[in-house]
């Protein structure tokens, strides 16, 4: 076993604190990675607080991982020691169900191994990236362009792919009016990709102070959702709304902003069940849809696209010990636009 250290929550009401644990030995197809940066996703906070139920502890969060290969199994061909690599939300899956065969591992119908708060295929618990070392099967490790700023690459592994995948699935691009609801980690990546794909992008935000940032990210328009007049002026306007809001919220005001055949794509995962008036989708043949991260092939495609188009996240680097300062600011909507932990400070 490999001795490792990280920041773990021991139960849903205790704070993250230093914790020593073990990683498995490097198998023939495994890659051992010295973690250098890990992004802070709002899902990390949802899960250590058990917002979604069923959480298992001790829990080490973190699924936006970038680091350097320190050891590779005898059969590993795709990377060498010393190379930068990345790991996202998944570390394994059943590999044989219909979805796994199509590269949609995130929708594995048998046993998906998420990077933390989950189990390996052998049933042992998984531990995430707020740690110094991880050992992952090569099929779930991504290569990254070393031309990019590695701390700013980390958030692509969740925030990036989570918005890239639905934009590709619904073929959002030229001629489409895209609304990005919530300008946080996911939202700011949605603006970058939406603009790169040729859509007209509007940010819908509760924070008027983010307007200049939204425009700097490339957004064409900015709308304050708490301003009734501004909301009224956008009625029936959008083809797509990408909903990245992390807190419980109403849906009806946003369904009113969709044009006929428009689609409201939910990415945010607040804890409470959602309600909305069915008439608000029936009238106008509108759709309410959802999307979960992205599969392994699409995640590599996204990373390659980012390398080709110089797209990375806007990040604020933090020390591990300041994680609760970051969480507090994230909950207040004051994230500009992804906190990333410098793992050298662990």
Smaller CB separation from Zn ion, 100 or 217: 100
Among 4, 86, 104, 108, indicate the residue that binds Zn ion (CB under 5 A): 108
Q: Which stretch binds Zn ion (CB under 5 A): 97-105, 122-130, 200-208, 278-286?
A: 97-105
102 binds Zn ion (CB under 5 A): no
Neighbours of 30 (CB within 10 A): 22
Residue 335 interacts with, from Zn ion, ligand NAP, none (CB under 5-8 Å by kind)? ligand NAP
Residue 162 beta carbon to ligand NAP: minimum distance, rounded to whole angstroms = 4
Q: Is 99 in the site for ligand NAP (CB under 6 A)?
A: no
Q: Is residue 292 close enough to count as binding ligand NAP by CB under 6 A?
A: yes
Q: Hey, which residues does 204 pair with through a beta bridge?
A: 181, 223
DSSP H helices, the chain, are 42-48, 98-101, 150-153, 159-169, 185-196, 211-216, 228-233, 252-255, 279-282, 296-309, 323-331
Exactly one of 267, 296, 312, 326 binds ligand NAP (CB under 6 A); that residue is 267
**135 contact choice in Zn ion, ligand NAP, none (CB below 5 to 8 Å, kind-dependent):** none
C-alpha–C-alpha distance, residues 3 and 22, integer Å: 5
Residue 313 near residue 155 (C-beta atoms within 8 A): yes
**Contacting range for Zn ion; rule: CB under 5 A; set: 26-34, 136-144, 150-158, 208-216:** 150-158
* 108, two tokens: 């594995």
Q: Which stretch in 12-20, 93-101, 154-162, 171-179 sits in contact with ligand NAP by CB under 6 A?
A: 154-162
42 is a site residue for ligand NAP (CB under 6 A)? yes
155 binds ligand NAP (CB under 6 A): no
Local structure of 134: helix, strand or coil? strand
Binding of residue 38 to ligand NAP (CB under 6 A): no
118 touching ligand NAP, by CB under 6 A: no
- Residue 263 binds which of Zn ion, ligand NAP, none (CB < 5-8 A, kind-dependent): none
Let me know the angle formed at the C-alpha of 115 by 113 and 121, rounded to the nearest 5 degrees.
25
Cβ-count burial of 39 within 10 angstroms (0-12 exposed, 13-18 middle, 19+ buried)? Answer: buried
Report if residue 182 touches ligand NAP, rule: CB under 6 A.
yes
Asked whether the beta carbons of 25 and 74 are under 8 A apart, the reply is no
Question: Residue 245 binds what, of Zn ion, ligand NAP, none (CB under 5 to 8 Å, by partner type)?
Answer: ligand NAP
Listed residue (318, 125, 310, 333) closest to 244, CA to CA: 333
Between β-strands 113-114 and 90-92, what pairing exists: parallel, antiparallel or unpaired? Answer: antiparallel
Whether the CB-CB separation of 135 and 126 falls below 8 Å is answered with: no
- Which listed range, 27-35, 113-121, 272-280, 289-297, lies at the site for ligand NAP (CB under 6 A)? 289-297
Pairing label, strands 200-205, 238-243: unpaired
Q: Closer to ligand NAP at the Cβ: 89 or 300?
A: 89
135 beta partners: 32
Residues 26-45 that bind Zn ion (CB under 5 A): 41, 43
**Integer CA distances (angstroms), 16 to 22, 131, 147, in order:** 18, 12, 33
Interface pick for ligand NAP out of 246, 263, 280, 299 (rule CB under 6 A): 246
Q: Which does 246 bind (CB under 5 to 8 A by kind): ligand NAP, Zn ion, none?
A: ligand NAP
Distance in angstroms (rounded) separating the CA atoms of residues 146 and 312:
12
The answer to the question of residue 154 lying near Zn ion (CB under 5 A) is: no
Tell me the closest approach of the beta carbon of residue 171 to ligand NAP, in angstroms.
19
Binding site for ligand NAP (CB under 6 A): 41-43, 46, 158-159, 162, 182-187, 205-207, 210, 244-247, 249, 267-269, 291-293, 330, 333, 335
What is the binding site for Zn ion (CB under 5 A)? 41, 43, 93-94, 97, 100, 108, 110, 158
């Amino acid at each position: 076993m490999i001795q490792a250290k990280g920041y773990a929550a021991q139960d849903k009401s205790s704070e993250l604190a230093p914790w020593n644990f073990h990683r498995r030995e490097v198998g023939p197809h495994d890659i051992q990675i010295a973690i250098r940066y890990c992004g802070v996703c709002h899902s990390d906070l949802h899960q250590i607080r058990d917002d979604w139920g069923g959480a298992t502890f001790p829990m080490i969060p973190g699924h936006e991982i970038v680091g350097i290969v320190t050891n590779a199994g005898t059969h590993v061909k795709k990377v060498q020691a010393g190379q930068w690599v990345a790991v996202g939300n998944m570390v394994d899956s059943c590999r044989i169900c219909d979805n796994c065969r199509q590269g949609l591992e995130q929708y594995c119908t048998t046993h998906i191994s998420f990077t933390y708060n989950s189990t390996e295929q052998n049933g042992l618990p998984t531990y995430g990236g707020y740690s110094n070392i991880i050992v992952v099967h090569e099929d779930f490790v991504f290569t990254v362009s070393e031309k990019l700023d590695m701390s700013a690459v980390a958030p692509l592994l969740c925030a990036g792919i989570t918005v890239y995948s639905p934009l590709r699935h619904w073929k959002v691009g030229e001629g489409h009016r895209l609304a990005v609801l919530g300008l946080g980690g996911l939202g700011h990546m949605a603006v970058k990709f939406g603009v790169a794909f040729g859509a007209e992008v509007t940010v819908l935000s509760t924070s008027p102070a983010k307007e200049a940032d939204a425009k700097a990210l490339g957004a064409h328009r900015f709308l304050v959702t708490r301003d009734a007049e501004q909301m009224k002026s956008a009625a029936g306007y959008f083809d797509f709304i990408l909903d990245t809001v992390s807190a419980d919220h109403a849906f009806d005001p946003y369904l009113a902003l969709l044009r006929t055949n428009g689609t409201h794509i939910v990415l945010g995962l607040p804890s409470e069940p959602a309600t909305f008036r069915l008439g608000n989708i029936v009238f106008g043949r509108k759709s309410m849809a959802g999307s979960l991260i992205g599969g392994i092939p699409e995640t590599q495609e996204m990373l390659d696209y980012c390398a080709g188009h110089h797209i990375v996240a806007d990040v604020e680097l933090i020390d591990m010990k300041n994680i609760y300062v970051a969480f507090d600011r994230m909950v207040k909507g004051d994230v500009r636009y992804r906190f990333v932990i410098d793992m050298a400070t662990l």
